Amino acid sequence: METRKKNSTNNINLTYLNNYCGISYTLAMIGGRWKINILAYLLKDKKLRFGELKNKLEGISERMLIKNLKELENNELINKIIYQQYPRKVEYELTELGQSLNEIIKCMDKWGESRYDKT
């Protein structure tokens, strides 16, 4: 994982934007190729297992899915539920904070659907 120098202009600008710009902060939390899709599937299906998410996210590697799930969990947008059974069962669900993104995700979906050619 790449780390930036604390004194670099890039890091100073990023820190400033994330602290003082709501849009930048939101994009830092949900941005990237996969996070928004993971959140959208969890909004729709409520709880999903790792394999179910992997099947829905065509083209994602296991490593990338794990990374994104950990980031979403660290940002307190999803919960990881581990059931004490054999074989181990793990499910993911949105936290209350994650559910608060419902309207944003719906608006993004509606905007995107209206822009691309469906032919």
Give the pTM: 0.81
- If asked whether residues 37 and 23 sit together in one domain, one would say no
CATH of the domain at 92: 1.10.10.10
- Cβ proximity of 57 and 67 under 8 Å: no
- If asked whether residues 14 and 42 sit together in one domain, one would say no
Q: What is the CA radius of gyration of the chain?
A: 16
Please indicate, yes or no, if residue 74 is contained in any of the structural domains: yes
What are the pLDDT tens digits along the chain (119 aa)?
456 576 777 777 666 666 767 887 888 889 889 999 999 999 999 999 999 999 999 999 999 999 999 999 999 999 999 999 998 899 999 999 999 999 999 999 999 989 887 65
